Structure 1
Amino acid sequence: MASIDMPRDPGGDKIAASQVNGTTVYDTAGTKLGHVFDIVIDKVSGQTDYAVLSFGGFLGIGDRYHPLPWPQLRYDTERGGYVIDRSRAQLEGAPHYDADHIGTWSGGQSQAVDSYYGGGDAGLGAEPIR
């Protein structure tokens, strides 16, 4: 069971958003890609739409934030983290934003992310989300 002392042990089939943040994300080979920085929830439906992955910096400096459609993450109890079927190169080419733009989310950003992940190779070399 998760607790204040062991926030990464979700126990059961539900998890609090505060416990998702900071959880490691791996590729299918088990390579650590980064961690969940935050999640994006639809205000009206309450559905979790995106996990915002953080990677690319050092000790939190220079990190880039990459929204990834929530259904693409699968929790792996053995690893204690999420697994995605994406390479680091695919993530690096995805729509992203920097620390100055955290907390500003719009329909255009959702469209860019959905287009990138839903359209095969479409979106490679995408510009940062502004």
Structure 2
Amino acid sequence: MFRTIGLLLPALIPSWRFFKTVAPSPRIHYRLDGGDWQPVRPRPQSVSFARMMRRMLWNPRRNEELFLVTLSERLVEAPNAFCVNEINARVARIVGAPRGASLQFRLTFITREEGQIVNYDLFQSEPWVLP
């Protein structure tokens, strides 16, 4: 019994040492056919208490967003085709991009420097024509 509780405690009360570094997470923006850049799944301004409680138990959209953040971080550290293809496919599905459209994404980091918010573009994909 105590062994089971000992195994569950780290999952319930995580340690900050779990993370190698704490840094700004990348934001993913997309554009179709060379149009304006738009955020992928922008965050809502507010969330009701009931919805927040439901999200604590069931939130597959947020899980996918976390996966996209992980792919983005990997892509910035060491660019590879798998991350680019996976981000392209998921962004195309999320935004409902039509077949034959040209999809492009970019990764930006937002930081505060000398009291101002600054955007850094760290990666921009080549246009990808949707099959």
TM-score range with shorter-chain normalisation? Answer: under 0.3
Using the size of structure 2 for normalisation, the TM-score is 0.25
- Normalised TM-score (structure 1): 0.25
Greater Rg by CA = 2
